[in-house]
Structure 1
Amino acid sequence: MKKIGFLSFGHWTPSSQSETRTAADALLQSIDLAVAAEELGADGAYFRVHHFARQLASPFPLLAAAGAKTRRIEIGTAVIDMRYENPLYMAEDAGAADLIAGGRLQLGISRGSPEQVIDGWRHFGYRPAEGQSDADMGRHHAEVLLDMLRGQGFAQPNPRPMFPNPPGLLRLEPYSEGLRERIWWGAGSNATAAWAAKLGMNLQSSTLKDDETGEPFHVQQAAQIRIFRAGWKEAGHAREPRVSVSRSIFPLVDDRDRAYFGRGGEEADQVGFIDEKTRAIFGRGYAAEPARLVEQLRQDEAVAEADTLLLTIPNQLGVAYCAHVIEAILKQVAPALGWR
């Protein structure tokens, strides 16, 4: 059995070819799709965060609204770029959104990826410490967030407060019990997967990672997951971790599917450089008749290793079509693979 959710980047464009033409469309349709996915029996509604782009950006109003409109489905991110975040303010926002959702928040965070502007985090007021990189800064922000989510008091109370305080040092409020165990790290390398395991974060691995061995993407990603699990065991954490992978999967069950995705072109991994130093491998997409998809996905070692699968959806094709894709996977692909 696997948990199956969707992952939306929330693209929007004023083009007449898009069903998502404004930022308001992207946000409201994201909420509608979370509701529809829950009704279909999906397990998660996840959203990607990109700054300076016509995509979803500030996640917590969206997470809170989706949490208020649903009752069962997990509401999450994959991922929030921690280079841009004030971890204390983020802990408050995350606690509030999780309480509104009744403890269903699954918060994916990461050191970030190349963005729309040069060093965009500088515009948010952040600079790496002397001798550190922006990636170091992102990981430091993550460590501070994790510390805040422990719920321990750390701030000296005012001896003459406006309102009475509980005894002892004060923590951030609102505090949501259990959220610390529902933080995921989006790891792009084997080393950061091991680092996440040591800190007790779940693992999110997307459709790209550092090309560290030259092997096919799914083989490298499966090895990354095994490194993460070994690191988790070595750290001695009491609970079992969770691991998600993201995939673009489109069952071709009607003429719309064949028109949109039936022409092929994504059947092989791709290799490129995401910056001057980092060679990355991008995983293939899947688009085929359901029976063929089942055969192809059985060969994907990383999907087999993961307990959670996030389906990247083409949100600009509209809520109804994205719900159709999710339903086709849940009913025509997942049962044959033993995921349902």
Structure 2
Amino acid sequence: MKKIGFLSFGHWTPSPQSQTRSAGDTLLQSIDLAVAAEQLGADGAYFRVHHFARQLASPFPLLAAVGAKTSRIETGTAVIDMRYENPFYMAEDAGAADLIAGGRLQLGISRGSPEQVIDGWRHFGYTPMEGESDADMGRRHTEVLLDLLRGEGFAQPNPRPMFPNPPGLLRLEPYSEGLRERIWWGAGSNATAVWAAKLGMNLQSSTLKDDESGLPFHVQQADQIRAYREAWKEAGHTREPRVSVSRSIFALVNDLDRAYFGSSGKDSDKVGFIDEKTRAIFGRSYAAEPDVLIEELVKDEAIAAADTLLLTVPNQLGVDYNAHVIESILTHVAPALGWR
């Protein structure tokens, strides 16, 4: 059975047409949508992280709140930009959020995406070392985080501590058992997917990736997943890895759906440049009547190859409509494709 969750970018704007006109609206509605999605039977509530934008940014207060308000649904990110992160502080935050959720945190991380400002990570106090790119710095932060999440002691205790210490070197607290195995890497290329596999991270593949072959997006993404799984096997990891893909999918079941997304039904892949050097391919959106949607989705090789599907939701349309979007997929589409 395929796990199905939602992914919210957490936009807000003061426009009268938006249901999220402030950061507070977005945060509180994100919690409400996670609760609603759990009640509908969805498997995951995931949130994007962008800095210097009117979008969700610091994820751990939100993840902790969602974890406290729900009991079953996975809660996670897709993705946190590791160029901005202090891996020591992050390990503590992640451990706390995971314990609040009872071990349901699925933490998606990556080297990040195009930014709102120039070199935003510099404002957070981080600078690449000599000969290192900002992407290298993000991967270095990641490797430190992964080491910390193993829970091994590394810090020499003070001989005169304020509180009694356990014997030996000290680790960061709170420590959450098993979180290390629930770290996902958002890979934009086949090479970074292979790197993630070698380090024992799960794979998140979004709605865009480097255009490495000129083939349709879903075919390139399926190739990336195969390369990842081959590298995982070669690395000798003993557990089964998880793989998620993200899609914009809308089942048109009423007039409001058709008004919002009826014109998106003929969408196709797009190719462009996300910076001066990187040619990227952007996956199409799906919007159609359920029977047509089923015929289209069965041809998507990457969805077939993944164990988890994240539905990107238009969060500014409000909790009720987004719950309807999720319910429509779970009810009218997923069973016919064998996902439920």
- Same-fold status (TM-score > 0.5): yes
Please report how far the alpha carbon of residue 265 of structure 1 lies from its aligned counterpart in structure 2 after TM superposition. 6.4
**d(CA) in 1 for partners of 2:145 and 2:256?**
44
Which one-letter code corresponds to 2:191 in the other structure?
A: A
Distance 1:173 1:22, change over 3 A: same
Runs of 4+ that moved beyond 2 A: none
2: CA distance, partners of 1:276 / 1:19: 35
Partner SS, residue 129 of structure 1: coil
Indicate the SS of the match to 1:263: helix
Which residue matches 2:335? 335
Contact 2:265 2:287 in 1 (8 A): no
Aligned to 1:77: 77
Quick check: 1:286 aligned with 2:286? yes
Deviation at 1:263, TM superposition (A): 1.1
**d(CA) in 1 for partners of 2:337 and 2:265?**
24
Unaligned 5+ residue runs, structure 2? none
Is residue 229 of structure 1 aligned with residue 229 of structure 2?
Answer: yes
- RMSD between aligned alpha carbons? 0.6
Contact in 1 for aligned 2:248/2:312 (Cα 8 Å):
yes
CA contact (8 A) 2:265 2:288 kept: no
Inter-partner Cα distance in structure 2 for 1:239 and 1:266: 40
Query: 2:266, 2:25 → 1: CA distance?
Result: 28
2:148 match? 148
1:5-40 CA-to-partner distances (Å, cap 9, x unmatched) read: 000000000000000000000000000000000000
Q: Is the 8 A contact 1:266 1:284 kept in 2?
A: no
Give runs of aligned pairs for residues 153-302 of structure 1, distance below 5 A: 153-264=153-264, 267-302=267-302
Q: CA shift at 1:267, angstroms? A: 1.7
Match in the other structure for 2:325: 325
The corresponding residue for 2:115 is 115
Between the aligned partners of 2:104 and 2:272, the Cα distance in structure 1 is: 36
- Which letter does structure 1 place at the counterpart of 2:305? E
Report the TM-score, using the length of structure 2 for normalisation. 1.00
* Structure 2 CA distance for aligned equivalents of residues 143 and 264 of structure 1: 40
Q: TM-score, normalised by structure 1?
A: 1.00
1:61-83 CA-to-partner distances (Å, cap 9, x unmatched) read 00000000000000000000000
Contact 2:264-2:285 at 8 Å conserved across structures:
no
Question: C-alpha displacement at 1:266, in angstroms?
Answer: 5.6
- Equivalenced residue count is 340
The amino acid across from 1:85 in the alignment is E
CA distance in 2 between partners of 1:293 and 1:184 (Å): 28
Deviations, residues 141-182 of structure 1 (Å, cap 9, x unaligned): 000000000000000000010110000000000000000000
Q: Secondary structure in 1 aligned to 2:55?
A: coil
Secondary structure of 1:51 counterpart = coil
> Which digits, 9 at most, give the CA deviation of each residue in 1:188-229, with x for residues without a partner?
000000000000000000000000000000000000000000
What is the CA–CA distance in structure 2 between the aligned matches of 1:154 and 1:266, rounded to whole Å? Answer: 55
Identity percentage of aligned residues? 85
In the alignment, the residues of structure 2 paired with residue 265 and residue 143 of structure 1 have an alpha-carbon distance, to the nearest angstrom, of 41
Give the SS at the match of 1:131: coil
Counterpart-to-counterpart distance in 2, 1:327 and 1:3: 14
Relative distance call for 1:266 and 1:92 in structure 2 (3 A) is farther
Letter in 1 for 2:140: H
Measure the CA separation in 2 of the matches of 1:231 and 1:178.
22
Which deviates more from structure 2 when the two are superposed, residues 128-137 or residues 258-267? 258-267
Q: For 1:7, what is the secondary structure of its paired residue? A: strand
Alignment of 1:23 with 2:9, yes or no, is no
